[in-house]
A and B are shown apart, each in its own frame.
Chain A
Amino acid sequence: MKEKLVEVREVKKSYSTTVAVDGVSLCVNAGEIYALVGANGAGKSTLIRMITGITYPDEGSVQVCGEDTRKGARAKRYLGYLPEELTFYERLSGREYLQLVAGLKEADAAQVDEALAFFELKAVAEKWVGGYSLGMRKKLGLAAAMINNPQVLVLDEPLNGLDVEMMRKLRARLESQKQMSRSVIVSSHYMDFVERIADRIGIMSRGLLVAEGTAKALREKAELPSAPFEDVFFKLAG
């Protein structure tokens, strides 16, 4: 039986009268890519913020590599996170930014060069981040998330701004994470990408996890064996 790297148990989060996440449970095993899909406001980002320990659930618990995310910074040592909204020090260079992240993650500084090379940022490594394009910023965010080769990688909308070639490279990188028994949780609106890459897909709607399973299982559930996955999503999300 595979090791559970992420375990979410009955988590609930409300903002005054709005229930953002309503009793969601899920687990992600080692060597698995788990995709979260849902419309805007379905609760994906709130769930992801709870998994990364940025915010705490009102009820329930989240464990990453056996550590409760409420217990300070311990669980965060196993995590790499790409937020949807990226903010950087605009006047640090790409290299300086990654060096800072490596320092804060207590990672080997040599990984910075490796990350810059993989995400094709070497040519602009000494330039200030303020001058980066959207795609370059996304690559820098991905590089920062992947520094220290975390056990669990959480990516919120990783494809926005990436070109086709980089999308392919990213897919290959995520596949290789799988081979190394790492877990990936990815949230995306690109259904084709999700279907191709994810071992399991969770569909969220109005704070609930309404369906979960492999792409094939979800297709069977929706009784749409050959339709685009988008249609499967719409049918199951209601």
Chain B
Amino acid sequence: MAHKTNLLLAATARDQLRWARSHIYALLILAPLVLGMIYLTLLQATSYDLKLARPALFLQILLAAAFSFSVMAVSLSRASRELYHLRRPSSFAEALPLTGAEHLHFALAIRAGHNLLLALALLVIHSVLSKESMTGEEILALLIFSALMTVSESYAALSWIRWGHKRGRPRAVMTIALLIISSGACGLLLALFFNEAAAARLAELFQMRAPFWASVFVYAQGCALALIFYLLVHFLHEGWRGEDIDYAHRLEHRDWPEFNFARLLRGRLPRAVCALLSRDLALSLRVFSSAVYVAAGTACLIIILLVTLLLTGALPSVEETLGGLRDLGWMSATWFPSSLAIKTATLLVVTCLASIVPVLVSHQIPHAWLERAVGATGNQLWLAKLWYARLLTLPAAIAIYIVGVLAALIGDTPLSLSYLLPLLAECLWLWWLVSSIMGALAFEMLDRPGLALVLTLSLCLSIGMLTVVLWPMGLGIYGMGVAQARERGIMQAARYLLTEER
């Protein structure tokens, strides 16, 4: 029985390894670079005396359980795809003489692989947060956590597909109850993994003689639950697979209501522009290039840096910053160190994310026949990229403002409360200015995408820095520059449509 599962797993692994070989640059250079930078930044950030209190054990368990439950919910679609081979190369095995157990074990092995990656991420976070070295018990807790998550996710996926066509309320209630129990057990395991004092506290709570027995209790109930869930999944999968597989396919093809920013602009922009914009945003959300990971990773780094600066009090004092400047009353708050940090972070993140625009244009060149065939105009193409840059970066700008203000308030960094709204306006102004410039220059130097990226980034950063310090400067630049960039951009886009030469 295991032989056929192994054959399928080996084929999947070979396929994935060959994929990895063709993305060697991203995997061996870009990913370690970005992940390494994030790791080192986290390490540096946690080496400061963060003004954060560790929550009570009960709250820790509750948060960990909520995290586990969220991961189960997020994995529903993926786990059901693995169970029923939906849109997967292994779907051919459906008509081959494989037993239900062989299909299930294949799916569980793939799921376990994903959960081991999650465990690896948790391991890194643990090594960053804890000054002590990892113990064997903690690793054991993590392994049991991964096993329990794997079977729980598969159980959730099976039940979700069943719910899709049977709508049995009692079964749904039972499923949710079981998943809550499983999440609770995962929460306990995570608490043991992250908090070395958890076992002692639990022993006190359960009135046990030694912390060791509390750990054993948590491990045993984790293993028992994993076994129970495995048997349950095995039993349900045998019974339901043949009946549910078509519903799983239909669920996959159903049009899920998804939030589409482009929809907000319907009526304000031509329909063709909205269609192009929707496509571009969907491509970005589905990570059309490793550049998306790099930009998102760098943006995360900047946010971590901002939070660290605001929480640790590493910024200079208001007096030091405003020393030689004339007092402008409440308007002076624009030069408060916290305001400048939040604005600079907004500029950097917006620039970073908007740098995906030239990469996207470069990625789309081989598929430009579509725009050519439907008779799209240069203006439509240019408008689509302009709004793409704006919409892609808007959530990040708002998020930085919120995170920045909260971090400043928690970290007791001086921030004028009366300037909160003007600060929001400044951040939004920076977002609008920088994303508009990046979008407007989307079709520049298509034959030299690297150079185009360097030049547009430099331009955006210099204009942006001027605006961070003195926001009215941006007004002049926008008024004079973007109107002319529009004309040029439309012309360049039209040229891109007319000829296949770059």
Contact = CB atoms under 8 A, between A and B. Distances in A.
Nearest to A55: B246
A144 B8 CA distance: 15
B483 interface: no
Given A90-B89, A96-B14, A54 B94 contact: yes
Interface stretch (B95-103, B153-161, B358-366, B455-463): B95-103
B14 A91 contact: yes
Chain A contact residues: helix, strand, loop or mixed = loop
B92 interface: yes
The size class of the interface chain B forms with chain A is 20 to 34
A15 B91 CA distance: 21
Contact of B11 (A56, A92, A106): A92
Given A53-B242, A96-B14, A104 B99 contact: no
A87 B97 contact: no
B165 A104 contact: no
B89 A76 contact: no
A117 interface: no
A79 B92 CA distance: 13
A66 to B, nearest CB: 15
A127 interface: no
A213 interface: no
A72 B250 CA distance: 23
Nearest to B101: A72
B100 A72 contact: yes
Nearest to B100: A72
A96 B88 CA distance: 17
Contacts of B12: 89
A105 B4 CA distance: 9
Contacts of B98: 73, 76, 104
Interface in A91-134: 91-92, 96-97, 100-101, 103-106, 128
A105 B92 contact: no
A88 interface: yes
Contact of A96 (B11, B99, B102): B11
Interface string A126-150: 0010000000000000001000000
Given A76-B95, A104-B7, A128-B18, A16 B89 contact: no
Interface string A77-91: 101010100111111
B25 interface: no
Contacts of A144: 92
A4 interface: no
B7 to A, nearest CB: 5
B243 A15 contact: no
Contacts of B4: 103-104
Interface in B90-144: 90-100, 102
Interface string A2-44: 0000000000010110000000000000000000000000000
How many residues of A sit at the interface, in one of the four size bands?
A: 35 or more
Contacts of A96: 11, 14
- In this complex, the member of A83, A91, A105 whose beta carbon has the largest number of chain B beta carbons within 10 angstroms is A91
Contacts of B18: 91-92, 128
Interface in B6-56: 7-8, 11-12, 14-15, 18-19, 22
A79 B11 CA distance: 22
A105 B246 contact: no
Nearest to A52: B95
Contacts of A76: 95-98
B11 A15 contact: no
A90 B15 contact: yes
Contacts of B91: 83, 87
B236 to A, nearest CB: 15
A70 interface: yes
B97 A73 contact: yes
Interface string B68-105: 00000000000000000001111111111111101000
A55 B242 contact: yes
A128 B7 CA distance: 18
A206 interface: no
Nearest to B5: A104
Given A83-B95, A88-B89, A144-B92, A70 B242 contact: yes
Nearest 4 A-B pairs (CB), nearest first? A56-B242, A91-B18, A81-B95, A76-B97
Given A54-B242, A92-B18, 14 more contacts: A46-B246, A56-B243, A72-B99, A73-B98, A76-B97, A83-B92, A87-B87, A89-B12, A89-B14, A96-B11, A96-B14, A101-B96, A103-B4, A144-B92
22 contacts: A15-B247, A53-B95, A54-B94, A55-B246, A70-B242, A73-B97, A77-B97, A81-B95, A86-B92, A87-B92, A89-B90, A91-B22, A96-B14, A97-B11, A100-B8, A101-B96, A103-B4, A104-B4, A104-B96, A104-B97, A105-B96, A144-B92
